[in-house]
Structure formats: structure tokens, C-alpha cells
């Protein structure tokens, strides 16, 4: 696999977030924070050693520690950081640096702990109702599943982990950008009120993009999520019986993503949602390009996999 694919993908996601962000978010501090996170994630992937990647990972948190950088909208930059999966990157590099015997002994434990973390993250997403927090926990769960695949020590697991890495990053950044756009249109309190918001009546294009991204996250055929799920499951089952938990984790994550779509777009529209603007041209371009990437990855997965 071309080593530049992941850093290039995260750089594209960074600029996609900036291009599709609501105008209210585009303050100099917010833009600088997003660019800093994107640069740190790309630097971590391009670095050769464990120490350099760890330093870049730590540096990526700097904008979140500064006051008021992301006070108007934290979800898109947080999606960029979490979808870098830098923790999984560091653990996989640490395993590669160990002697062969030590790495072989450690891999089953890492797989088990990663699957446990993925199950916990998806379970927490299941009991959460606020869209932003649901997405953050789904991102964490997919990062843990990617780590499990990388720690398998077989080709299928590694390929599945890298495919899931890409498909989940693109799909969840799409979902985060759509949620940020909805929040800017109707307000945070309305978005987090619970129940069915009925936004499809006013924003059918946003509803279609959200549904397709959620389905790709669930492993829809003809999207990159499908070969990612198949390869990851094969690799985990080759590694040991702990892989039997992966289908249940994936199914629950898919249910949570589709339930979030239903909560946002189904039902009678709220008064605050009536007349809400649909996807703007710049949002359609960014979301359409992201969806095209997922479809290309589903039709020609070998082009993006080892």
C-alpha cells in the first residue's frame, strides 16, 4: 500500500472540514486549530519512528487545551483528531518494534483489549442520545476495531484494519460535518432535545448524504465499508476466538448510526426546523467527493489496500 494514502486522506479531510464548515465557525482561531490538528495527524503518519509519532499525537491535543478555540463547534475538529487513530498507530508500531517472540505473546492480549474497548465505546454510544456524543463514541469504537485488526499479525487483519481506517474516517467526518451544519441552522439546544426532529422535510439532500454515510459505516455493499468488514472479520477469526465478538460490535454500531439518522431526519418537522436550508453548494461538493471516495473504495478496494 502506498504509505502516502493515509496522510493524504487526512489532509483532504482537513480541507473538507474547512470548506464545508458553517460560516459561524470560521474564526481565525478555529481555522488555525483545525489546520494544526490536520498537520499533526499527517506528521504522525509520515514519521518513521515511535517517538516522533508520539510527539505529533501529543501536539495534536494543543488546540483543545487552549481556551475558546473550538467553543463554537468542537465536533468537526474532534472528528479529525479521533479519526487519525494515532493511538492505534502507536500501539501497532510498538508491536513491530518488539522481538518476534514478545510481539507474538502480546498480540492476543492487544486484540482482546481492543475488542473490549470497541464494545464499550459502542455500548456507550447506544445509551447516548446527543448526536455529537454518539458520533464521538462511534469514532472511538472504530479506532479500537482498527487496532484489533492491526494487532492480529496476519495479512487479512491488517488489510481490513486499513480499509476500516479509511472508510470509518471518511464516513464519520461526513456525519460530523452534517451535524455541525444542522447545529448552525437550528441551534444546539434543538439538536440535542431528543426525539425525532423531522429534518428530512426541509433538508432532503442532507438526509441522503447522512443515510449513505451511516450505511457505509455499517458495511453497505459497493462502499469501502463492505470489504473492510469482511477482511477485518477474517483476520480476527484467524487470530483467535475473540474475533467472534466483532460481528456483534459491528451490528450494534450500525444500529446506532442508523438510529441517529432516524432521530435527526424522520418524524414530523419541528417548528425550529421548518424552512431550514438544505445542503449548500460547497457542502454538496465536499460530501459528494467523500461519498465518491467510499464508492471507489468499495468497487476497487485493491487500489487502496495492500
pLDDT in tens, 103-123: 888 999 999 999 999 999 999
Kindly report, residue by residue over 142-158, the tens digit of the pLDDT.
999 999 999 988 889 99
pLDDT band at 36 (very low <50, low <70, confident <90, very high): very high
Band the pLDDT of 89: cuts 50, 70, 90: confident
Residue 37, pLDDT > 70, answer yes
d(CA 3, CA 101): 27
H-type alpha helices, 21-66: 28-46, 50-60, 62-65
Query: Among 37-41, 49-53, 129-133, 210-214, whose mean pLDDT is lowest?
Result: 49-53
* Residue for grid cell 478496494: 301
Residue 304 has pLDDT above 90, yes or no: no
What is residue 1's predicted lDDT score, i.e. its pLDDT? 41
Contact present, 91 and 57 (Cβ < 8 Å)? no
Question: In angstroms, rounded to a whole number, what is the distance separating the alpha carbons of residues 43 and 88?
Answer: 15
Lowest-confidence segment of 3-7, 70-74, 279-283 by average pLDDT: 3-7
What confidence score (pLDDT) does residue 76 get? 94
pLDDT of residue 220: 92
Neighbour count for residue 285 (Cβ, 10 Å): 14
Percent of all residues in the chain with a pLDDT value above 70, rounded to a whole number: 99
Question: What is the pLDDT averaged over residues 214-238?
Answer: 93
Angle, CA of 9, 44 and 144, to the nearest 5° = 75
Q: Which of 64, 65, 59, 63 lies closest to 44 in space, CA to CA?
A: 59
Determine the Cα–Cα distance for residues 257 and 180; give it in Å rounded to an integer.
16
The packing angle between helices 28-46 and 75-82, to 10°, is: 10
Amino acid at each position: 500500500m502506498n504509505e502516502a494514502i493515509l496522510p493524504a486522506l487526512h489532509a483532504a479531510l482537513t480541507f473538507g472540514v474547512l470548506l464545508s464548515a458553517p460560516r459561524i465557525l470560521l474564526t481565525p482561531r478555529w481555522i488555525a486549530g483545525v489546520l494544526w490538528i490536520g498537520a499533526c495527524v499527517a506528521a504522525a503518519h509520515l514519521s518513521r519512528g515511535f517517538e516522533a509519532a508520539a510527539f505529533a499525537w501529543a501536539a495534536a491535543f494543543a488546540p483543545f487545551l487552549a481556551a475558546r478555540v473550538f467553543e463554537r463547534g468542537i465536533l468537526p475538529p474532534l472528528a479529525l483528531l479521533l479519526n487519525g487513530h494515532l493511538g492505534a498507530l502507536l500501539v501497532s508500531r510498538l508491536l513491530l518494534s518488539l522481538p518476534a517472540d514478545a510481539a507474538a505473546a502480546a498480540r492476543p492480549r492487544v486484540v482482546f483489549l481492543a475488542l473490549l474497548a470497541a464494545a464499550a465505546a459502542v455500548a456507550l454510544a447506544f445509551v447516548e442520545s446527543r448526536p455529537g456524543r454518539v458520533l464521538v463514541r462511534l469514532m472511538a469504537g472504530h479506532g479500537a476495531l482498527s487496532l484489533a485488526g492491526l494487532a492480529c499479525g496476519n495479512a487479512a487483519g491488517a488489510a481490513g484494519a486499513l480499509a476500516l481506517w479509511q472508510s470509518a474516517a471518511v464516513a464519520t467526518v461526513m456525519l460530523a460535518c452534517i451535524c455541525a451544519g444542522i447545529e448552525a441552522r437550528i441551534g444546539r439546544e434543538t439538536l440535542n432535545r431528543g426525539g425525532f426532529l423531522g429534518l428530512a422535510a426541509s433538508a432532503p439532500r442532507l438526509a441522503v448524504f447522512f443515510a449513505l454515510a451511516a450505511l457505509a459505516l455499517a458495511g453497505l455493499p459497493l462502499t469501502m465499508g463492505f470489504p473492510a468488514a469482511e477482511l477485518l472479520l477474517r483476520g480476527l477469526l484467524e487470530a483467535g476466538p475473540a474475533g467472534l465478538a466483532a460481528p456483534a460490535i459491528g451490528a450494534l454500531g450500525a444500529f446506532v448510526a442508523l438510529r441517529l439518522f432516524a432521530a435527526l431526519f424522520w418524524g414530523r418537522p419541528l417548528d425550529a426546523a421548518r424552512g431550514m436550508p438544505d445542503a449548500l453548494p460547497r457542502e454538496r461538493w465536499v460530501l459528494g467527493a467523500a461519498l465518491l471516495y467510499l464508492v471507489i473504495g468499495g468497487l476497487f478496494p485493491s487500489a487502496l489496500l495492500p
